[in-house]
Structure 1
Amino acid sequence: MATKDELGRHGEQLAVDYLTAEGMHIIDRNWRCREGEIDVIARDGETLVVVEVKTRSGTSHGTALESVRPAKVARLRKLAARWLATQETSFDTVRVDVIALERFAGDYAMRHVRGVV
């Protein structure tokens, strides 16, 4: 059985593989500052996409998607502004996405929600 950290790392890699297959360009992973962390930062055309990846081994404590509450989305928006302040590149828009993965019998179910508010 994988540890929570291993499960999370594997989920993030599955998410990155998926986003790349969807045509997004991965700019950064696990970007940190004092206020928190962004799991994945990607470019989708001229849009900056901040991606929160949640991986769960079951739903006994709710689904992976349910674990991303409005306060988390607000924090991700602030983190996106902090990240952008360190960059020379600009983007037309910024979007927050959530990729929720749940493992059942060794297989993963993935749900990608674009533009979480």
Structure 2
Amino acid sequence: MAQHNELGKEGEQLAINYLQKKGYKILDKNWRYLKAEVDIIAQKNNTLAVIEVKTRTSDFFGNPQDFVNPKKIKLMVSAINEYVTSKDLDVEVRFDIIAILKNKNETKIEHLEDAFLYF
């Protein structure tokens, strides 16, 4: 497996662990709909958190969250509309990014709630 794929899987597991410690229930991971993939779908109280995980070893080219583009956002919104409808959920939906910088010396996790408001 390519090194960046391994880093991505490791980042997703770090994000899941982080969310569970914060009281989120993980409903799905790597959920697919048409061309979209949602990294993590979690719930806390009556809020469905749709989470894109971005993991990098360095912020030399920018912060991890800077790599979520408008096309990805559009795909995620479409996918989560299908998810909520197909599961007949009555919840508030929020789109988050978990940005992870992981190198040999440290791991930094930043949870950006309602992240798409900033785009």
Letter in 2 for 1:109: K
Report the 3-state secondary structure (helix = DSSP H, G, I; strand = E; otherwise coil) of the residue aligned with 2:59: coil
82-91 or 32-41: bigger deviation:
82-91
Task: Give the distance between the partners of 2:99 and 2:43, measured in 1 at CA.
Answer: 19
Output the TM-score relative to the length of structure 1.
0.89
Point out where structure 2 has 5 or more consecutive residues left out of the alignment. Answer: none
Task: Give the distance between the partners of 1:58 and 1:82, measured in 2 at CA.
Answer: 34
The aligned residue for residue 6 of structure 2 is 6
Letter in 2 for 1:49: A
Percentage of identical aligned residues: 34
Superposed displacement of residue 70, structure 1: 3.6
Point out where structure 1 has 5 or more consecutive residues left out of the alignment. Answer: none
Superposed displacement of residue 6, structure 1: 0.7
* Structure 1 or 2: more helix by fraction: 2
Q: Deviations over 1:8-39 (max 9, x none)?
A: 00000000000000001000000012121000
The aligned residue for residue 96 of structure 2 is 97
Report the 3-state secondary structure (helix = DSSP H, G, I; strand = E; otherwise coil) of the residue aligned with 1:23: coil
The aligned residue for residue 55 of structure 2 is 55
Aligned length: 115
Task: Give the distance between the partners of 1:81 and 1:16, measured in 2 at CA.
Answer: 22
Task: Give the distance between the partners of 1:47 and 1:104, measured in 2 at CA.
Answer: 32
Residues 1-117 of structure 1: matches in 2 within 5 Å? 3-91=3-91, 93-116=92-115, 117=117
Output the TM-score relative to the length of structure 2.
0.88
Which 4+ stretches in 1 moved above 4 angstroms?
none
